[in-house]
Structure 1
């Protein structure tokens, strides 16, 4: 499908930038304006592929979207102090916003433009990489040069598949564009495509990518912050779980666990996971180096919303306030190493405010007699504990659940946390097993952009809503998918509103 108006105002020469924690991501993408002349060398290809990852980071940093989509509208929270984000938490997603209010998080979260910017970069890479001669790539032989090209192609396809999977979880049906077009200014109709077709296109990209990548990247500094075969199979596992294709999900998980070379970190070292590139990390968005760290004053910073004194001395109480009741339910065993190492509280008057310290890798910078706080945590998208628990979900979701296999995977994670292991005899039926997996994911992946989607899959399997602001009747009508902002429909005449929100968000 041709590139259309969803990109009409995306001037990649302006928005494309790339700073990260290693030589690969430190490359500066070449301006789209010079496309015909800028694809001459391996370094050019490296820079352009780096742009795919950098633009995913930009999308996740828009209104803290990775965590706002994945964690905020869930049962984790008792209250949210910021009014805009409280509406996101309360699933009040249809509030009208002026088209000119480009800084309003409600607008940022309803436009998919940042993700399509990354898709456009993937399409650009795939198009031009295929045109470059073999000798342009690093390698002493033609075979090595072709392998180098294919590695770049695989990464571009991984990033495109990742963006489409992510958008499908947020919006459901989305436009599907997989062909590069140098003129993105034409304004024509670009309708939404059925989610099933979008996800199948992502699977097709990943099936290509897995042929061209090794399980672990040969450059240690690049590990986890750029795609390898383990990341490809992990993304496949999540796509299949979202589709409810749990047999395929389980097989993809097996590939990651058996061949990926990942290992759970020691239970005494949980904080190391969030500094980045730990032994169990599979795919991350690099954001821990000084050149890429985000000020905790920025709306894209998860630290701004979830930390408080002493980590951020200028914030007395956390903005996103954890529900003490939910925290008590998840961590009824307070000896759990996750609870001990990842949560704390601050007193304010007679109130006790709990908060999560996963993103407390904060550095201070003094400039012009002003102290600035920088958040230096990578965005951990996929890690091994997630895959153990996703395989447990696949075994629990079967018509004839494999209780032993599901419990064994749950217990791998619980054992690392130092808490009592589950026994099959204690789990009364399929629904109880599924709920046990979801609860363990809630403990292990707290504030890692996962809870919202876990609750969606749980409700699809059990028919019981665990959302605070989405009833089961509303769930069946698709309320859990986000609306698109009406501003996108001004120039895209073929675009229709997400069905549940059609009568609620019209301008």
Structure 2
């Protein structure tokens, strides 16, 4: 995965050409479809390009997964877009509502799925097994991209064909949330069947779509769709394999500083030596647009909690956890790790009433952090609250907090939508809260609007109802 820079040119060219753009490209200057897909090496390059494109957008995934939660606040250098988002002034003109990056990833994955099979005609050594492994990676990254989109926008266009000619109409309407989740699961089930168990080195084992990465994502998706038995099956496959473990307490920060540790399941790879970084240094340390929220320190009630020592490091409230290498700015972006597997299974068990089993998993994570065991209440919503708080401590600033809150609220037809309102109202002046309580009773307010430019480009799109007026 550390050869990503060499492939990045292909990623940018291949993703950015849509429809008739291909017809205007000089063949001597770029890699065209007619000159590509001739060997397994081409297929591998196209696969790495999908990861490379995804890696460009992890700061946006941080913003989607953290900014609306209760663990960050606007920094001194915060853009107006960020200030508006935190103040509930989210409009279709806000740049944070731009989904273009995820659709670039999806387009690359779609191209790989469509054109990789034709390589058979040119490379006799390219096997069906190898092809299916590459297709598993493509469909995994497509599913992961749609998983972020559906949690952020709720309803999005479901594009499954590459946009590289004028032969296909891409003015697609939005698909329903249920339709998007169905496609995500379909892709992940395929990926689990054909993905490799491991590659030849640590960065590929943690940075490409292994069976463990796919199973972790499926477990997460099943939590969202209420398929709790299926979630546990996926978690158990990872747990029983013993390929992933909790890092020791004193090495907890190595998850982010050393990278690709035994706790890691899937993380996006970066390397500043080749000029390839996530950009978190710029928005979190150099000119902080986000700072640690005022209530975060209060989450860590035990002085023995090793996580607190690493998360609350400065008086400036800077978020250093995901910029663990400082100026190098090449810390990987951890998508899934073993602690998440344990707590996802615990959440599924709570939904089934198996509180004692869930409690053991929760306490495994707490023990590693150096804090005492806790008891889970037998009442489901109270147990959810305990779990949600532990997830906040464990996964602070890993792009999960908002999605965790939304998932709890989303369950059982938004039975706990008050969770979202409680969090969002923290940034609203007391005099305006009654007005916002009424607005936030509508679950459609929990999702982003479609950006105005997307509506202009695609006449088939309809604005998310909450933002129509």
Aligned partners of 1:137 and 1:149 also within 8 Å = no
SS of the residue aligned with 2:253? helix
* Cα distance change of structure 1 residues 475 and 117 upon mapping to structure 2, 3 Å threshold: farther
CA apart distance, 1:287: 1.8
Q: Given the alignment of the two structures, is residue 388 of structure 1 paired with residue 328 of structure 2, yes or no?
A: no
SS of the residue aligned with 2:445? coil
Aligned partners of 1:414 and 1:421 also within 8 Å = yes
* Cα distance change of structure 1 residues 301 and 90 upon mapping to structure 2, 3 Å threshold: farther
Deviation sequence 1:187-208 (CA, Å, 0-9, x none): 7631000111111111111111
Aligned to 2:145: 163
Between the aligned partners of 2:319 and 2:196, the Cα distance in structure 1 is 35
Q: Given the alignment of the two structures, is residue 302 of structure 1 paired with residue 297 of structure 2, yes or no?
A: no
Alignment of 1:288-299 (within 5 A): 288-294=271-277
SS of the residue aligned with 1:380? strand
Aligned to 1:345: 314
Between the aligned partners of 1:360 and 1:231, the Cα distance in structure 2 is 23
Aligned to 1:498: 464
Deviation sequence 1:225-272 (CA, Å, 0-9, x none): 111011111111111112222222222222222226111111111222
* Cα distance change of structure 1 residues 149 and 410 upon mapping to structure 2, 3 Å threshold: same
Between the aligned partners of 1:41 and 1:452, the Cα distance in structure 2 is 43
Q: Given the alignment of the two structures, is residue 269 of structure 1 paired with residue 251 of structure 2, yes or no?
A: yes
Q: Given the alignment of the two structures, is residue 354 of structure 1 paired with residue 354 of structure 2, yes or no?
A: no
Q: Given the alignment of the two structures, is residue 173 of structure 1 paired with residue 151 of structure 2, yes or no?
A: no
Q: Return the match for 1:453 from 391, 394, 403.
A: 403
Aligned to 2:428: none
* Cα distance change of structure 1 residues 374 and 137 upon mapping to structure 2, 3 Å threshold: farther
Q: Given the alignment of the two structures, is residue 91 of structure 1 paired with residue 69 of structure 2, yes or no?
A: no
Aligned to 1:284: 267
Q: Given the alignment of the two structures, is residue 246 of structure 1 paired with residue 228 of structure 2, yes or no?
A: yes
SS of the residue aligned with 2:291? strand
Aligned partners of 2:92 and 2:467 also within 8 Å = no
Aligned length: 432
Between the aligned partners of 2:254 and 2:6, the Cα distance in structure 1 is 23
Between the aligned partners of 2:344 and 2:437, the Cα distance in structure 1 is 25
Q: Which has the higher strand share?
A: 1
SS of the residue aligned with 2:197? coil
Comparing 217-226 and 275-284, the one that deviates more: 217-226
Between the aligned partners of 2:291 and 2:387, the Cα distance in structure 1 is 24
Q: Return the match for 2:135 from 153, 169, 175.
A: 153
Comparing 439-448 and 388-397, the one that deviates more: 388-397
Aligned to 1:321: 291
Between the aligned partners of 2:265 and 2:214, the Cα distance in structure 1 is 9
Between the aligned partners of 2:161 and 2:386, the Cα distance in structure 1 is 43
Q: If the length of structure 2 is used for normalisation, what is the TM-score?
A: 0.85
Aligned partners of 2:203 and 2:269 also within 8 Å = no
Q: If the length of structure 1 is used for normalisation, what is the TM-score?
A: 0.79
Aligned to 2:42: 44
CA apart distance, 1:488: 1.0
Q: Which runs of 5+ in 2 are unaligned?
A: 15-21, 23-31, 426-435
Q: Return the match for 2:106 from 98, 119, 132.
A: 119
Aligned partners of 2:300 and 2:393 also within 8 Å = yes
Q: CA RMSD in A?
A: 2.4
Q: Which runs of 5+ in 1 are unaligned?
A: 1-20, 97-105, 140-144, 295-299, 347-352, 364-372
Q: Return the match for 2:300 from 310, 328, 331.
A: 331
